[in-house]
Amino acid sequence: MAHFETDAIHAGQEPEPTTGSAVVPIYATSTYVQSAPGEHTGYEYSRTDNPTRTALQTMLAALEGAGDDGGCVATASGMAATALIGYLLQPGDHVVLPNDAYGGTHRFFARVLGEQGIEHTVADLTDVAALEEALRPETKLVWIETPTNPLLRVVDLAAVIPVARSGGALVCVDNTFATPYLTRPLEFGADMVLHSTTKYLGGHSDVIGGAIVTGDAELLERLRFLQNAVGSVPGPFDAYLVLRGAKTLSVRMDRHCHNAREVAAFLAGDDRVAEVFYPGLPSHPQHDVAARQMRDYGGMISFRPTGGVESARKTSSATEYWFLAESLGGVESLIEVPSLMTHMSVVGTSLEVPADLIRLSVGIEHIDDLIADLDQALGSGV
């Protein structure tokens, strides 16, 4: 097995045999010619399989360490991947969700699957006892985010996954924030790993995509059947863009993490900041877990200014290099107020985030420029 950086460039991406192209082609085709009825090269219709998508799936499975029995199902978006997992559930089933999760994830389980007779319980998954209390005989899925979105809590996978699986539930870990470069949940016993490939894997804010990776051959077969049945597939150009982006994931993540450590230290030492959420800070409640479980601490930070809600609005609107925008994981730095943007759907629920919270996706620009821009923006928020 090759090293991570090598797999990102080579796994599933052999030179194209006809021309010798070093880059996987964009197979912009819907159908494939068969030599006889039912006899083909493995491709018949691109909803079922497409060579560009196959290359992407092979590469992502390698990065997550899915092994010979496992694989990947690439989807049209991160939420399409979430919905595909939802098809594994039946009315009467129960799901455990984290009490700090992406708003779209909660919306899907609460307002879509909830209407189909699938119940959920919200629990603090940084507390094993809280998970044990939330589990029921009918629990079929435990959903984990680590680090969580947007409060950057870190779930101890080695402690939580065995408890979650003890009653027969499947465990899915949303690994979007950490990426397989920082954490590989399958190594801790997770059944599935989910990604919004829109984020760090794509890395350039120019594609929408998702993926599910599993080391279980039977589960992989079921997910592939469901995807073909419901059609939640990415187009070949989208698959190509994620393949291109993932080649540089390791070097980008090193820079994201470096810049985030510097930004977090700046914020933690600034009197205009009341609270900073970043696993790399020794003051973070799960800092030791993150140090043990992750290669580095990631590129996401959240914080609360001392001036409250009005200060959060002013600060987030006053930056030059930090674009005020949703999403994350691109080379450019982004700033947002989750309660008014990415997490509006959880307002009024047990997942509601502080109204004055600011979330940062730290990009790969020069760190001095990023800190200077935040410094002047915080001044405008006073």
Burial 350-377 (b: 16+ CB within 10 A, else e): ebebbebbbbbbbbbbebeebbebbeeb
Q: Which helix (H) or strand (E) holds 242?
A: helix 236-246
Query: What are the two backbone dihedrals, phi and then psi, of residue 267, each rounded to the nearest 5 degrees?
Result: -65, -40
Q: Cα–chain-centroid distance for residue 269?
A: 29
**Strand ranges in 221-346 using DSSP code E only, listed in sequence order:** 273-277, 300-305, 323-324, 334-336
- Decide if 218 contacts 2 (C-beta within 8 A): no
For the chain, the distance separating the N- and C-terminal CA atoms, rounded to the nearest angstrom, is 53
Q: What strands lie across the sheet with 358-361, from one edge to the other?
A: 273-277, 300-305, 358-361, 334-336, 323-324
Distance CA 183, CA 269 (A): 28
User: Which sequence positions are flagged as catalytic?
Assistant: 47, 102, 174, 199
Q: What strands lie across the sheet with 71-75, from one edge to the other?
A: 71-75, 210-214, 192-195, 170-174, 139-145, 94-98, 119-123
For 195, the 3-state DSSP assignment is strand
Count CB atoms within 10 A of the CB of residue 382.
11
Count CB atoms within 10 A of the CB of residue 142.
28
Distance CA 96, CA 58 (A): 30
